[in-house]
Structure 1
């Protein structure tokens, strides 16, 4: 085992041991122990690591700047905008934790970090969701069970619902915390919002896998025409090795965000003073590190690196093959001088026989 690995493991063990002793160890009743923990560790129930949260701030602000620059250069407005907001929330979350190390009883900083870190992945997933619709346009609508626009509408709508539910729950919990009342009601609403987010992500994974499996096996709907699959630009994108790596990278990044989301559901289900929240190592690894890796992957494998500034209209609708052929007939009649696109065969292929690979 490498020395660096041992250092990381030792640091994580140290963070776990930094949690306060239990009521049994202190010889206190639960109420006495809760009062003691609050007096010593404030609303966190432990002392956040100043160094670890500072590192989180620095890394996320670097990714924020890179993602912003890439979005502007490649004109990836939806993907870039979603990631821009999500990474900004990650930065603000760790900023709140960093500032809290000087005042553990500051409610504003505590609420800032818990709300921002809870909402951030929903914005990251909003960017990822739009990629499936673009995959459909690139590989062809005839492989898909629904139109690209339907994927976008379904998952973005569900994502927005999740964000609203979590925000409402966070607001209720914050108000209760300020009034020194129970935060359980707001926490339960936040957990419901995050659970809905995990459910949406699961459906997204299933539908994405189904589509790519159909591409891999060449399973097309012969009654559906592809809108741009035979465009030279799209063919070049589809046949580029970068596209295959990008699809794989998207899957891996999704896995890290999904892991983080499941952890957060379990964490908040215990309440704001649960065991997981009182051990910062869990948050740093299963939340911060997971999001950091996911965002880094989709920064290294940025969509613009694959299709440049090519505008891939994910709002395209599915057309029947007869409608497509009618359009081509009219185009040839009125504009015979224009280059003819190859006719789509019954199996949905164009021109020369080629194998689709993902």
Structure 2
């Protein structure tokens, strides 16, 4: 039976196996996740005002908004699991939301690269950001195209054409995350090998306390990246046989590997917010869209008007609170 045949169905008139999901979504569980994302949205708004991390915050807020809308759809499904509109609201929004969280991760990592320097690394912070946000965009386009295809198909959610397109986007996202983790691990290994980078990092931040905050942000990056990769892997397996598959119609795995995992990633990126390390100079430690030249140990000084001379051949020190030698374009 197609979705259009069940528009007049309700829990009391039609059997659950005919519903868009073969179970009644938990009201308590989904309302709990919904309330968490609403709280995270408010916290992110406050942190945006506090830290001025505009690019990171836009990505995080976009992802959280999609999660909120998605769980509103899940709550609606609790009352009417036969509604294809509620199904698509939940399915599409929750599917694409993590793409924005990975974009936020790439914003942070590019700042971490600027902080420690990249004299011997294969990619600059700008190149790294562009490469992975491009892959993120491709994943988003595929998943959106799949979702639109599902809607245009006349709300026949039992048709898997759109699901296959979304699945391709998920696979691409998982592959990109694996590549990112590999390159990030290589970069981290180089930092540990070249102890002078860590010394430079501590000096750039002005004291060991601030340098420790950067390490906390890096831990947050690790936890959130692994979490999103775990979630993407689950969704690939879940949708491999379409929305009618066995795993796609089991609530407990969804609540753990989709809801719980993404909540963990979102909370981590909120608690270990990059603003604790890079505020109030988030823009100054960005790489910008302009070209910058590498000098010396990999940092790229661009002296502002109030630069003070050091009296030697080294580049002038820059009076930026917490940083001595790192200034970039302020366009991002």
1:266 aligns with 2:237: yes
Q: Is the 8 Å Cα contact of residues 237 and 243 (structure 1) preserved in structure 2?
A: no
Tell me, in whole angstroms, the C-alpha distance in 1 between the residues paired with 2:70 and 2:222: 25
Match of 2:310 among 315, 321, 339: 339
Tell me, in whole angstroms, the C-alpha distance in 2 between the residues paired with 1:168 and 1:337: 53
Q: Is the 8 Å Cα contact of residues 137 and 312 (structure 1) preserved in structure 2?
A: yes
Q: Secondary structure at the match of 1:39?
A: coil
CA 1:148–1:62: 2 relative to 1, 3 Å? same
Q: Is the 8 Å Cα contact of residues 136 and 143 (structure 1) preserved in structure 2?
A: no
Normalised TM-score (structure 1) = 0.75
CA 1:104–1:320: 2 relative to 1, 3 Å? closer
Count, aligned residues:
299
CA 1:40–1:139: 2 relative to 1, 3 Å? same
Q: Secondary structure at the match of 2:134?
A: helix
Higher-helix-fraction structure: 1
Normalised TM-score (structure 2) = 0.80
Once superposed, what is the RMSD of the aligned Cα atoms?
3.4
Q: Is the 8 Å Cα contact of residues 115 and 201 (structure 2) preserved in structure 1?
A: no
| Partner of residue 247, structure 1 | 218
| Partner of residue 327, structure 2 | none
Q: Is the 8 Å Cα contact of residues 187 and 269 (structure 1) preserved in structure 2?
A: no
Tell me, in whole angstroms, the C-alpha distance in 2 between the residues paired with 1:337 and 1:125: 38
Q: Name stretches of at least 5 consecutive residues in structure 2 with no aligned partner.
A: 316-323, 325-332
Q: Is the 8 Å Cα contact of residues 177 and 183 (structure 1) preserved in structure 2?
A: no
Residue pairs, 1:65-80, within 5 angstroms: 65-80=42-57
Q: How much has 1:234 moved relative to structure 2?
A: 3.9
Q: Name stretches of at least 5 consecutive residues in structure 1 with no aligned partner.
A: 1-29, 222-228, 345-350, 352-358
Residue pairs, 1:88-167, within 5 angstroms: 88-167=65-144
| Partner of residue 21, structure 1 | none
| Partner of residue 319, structure 2 | none
1:313 aligns with 2:286: yes
| Partner of residue 14, structure 2 | 39
1:175 aligns with 2:149: no
CA 1:182–1:249: 2 relative to 1, 3 Å? closer
Q: Which has the larger radius of gyration?
A: 1
Q: How much has 1:185 moved relative to structure 2?
A: 1.4
Q: How much has 1:143 moved relative to structure 2?
A: 4.1
| Partner of residue 164, structure 2 | 188
CA 1:147–1:112: 2 relative to 1, 3 Å? same
Q: How much has 1:298 moved relative to structure 2?
A: 1.4
Q: Is the 8 Å Cα contact of residues 21 and 81 (structure 2) preserved in structure 1?
A: yes
Q: Is the 8 Å Cα contact of residues 77 and 86 (structure 2) preserved in structure 1?
A: yes
Match of 2:262 among 291, 302, 313: 291
Tell me, in whole angstroms, the C-alpha distance in 1 between the residues paired with 2:224 and 2:183: 17
Residue pairs, 1:197-276, within 5 angstroms: 197-218=173-194, 234-236=205-207, 240-276=211-247
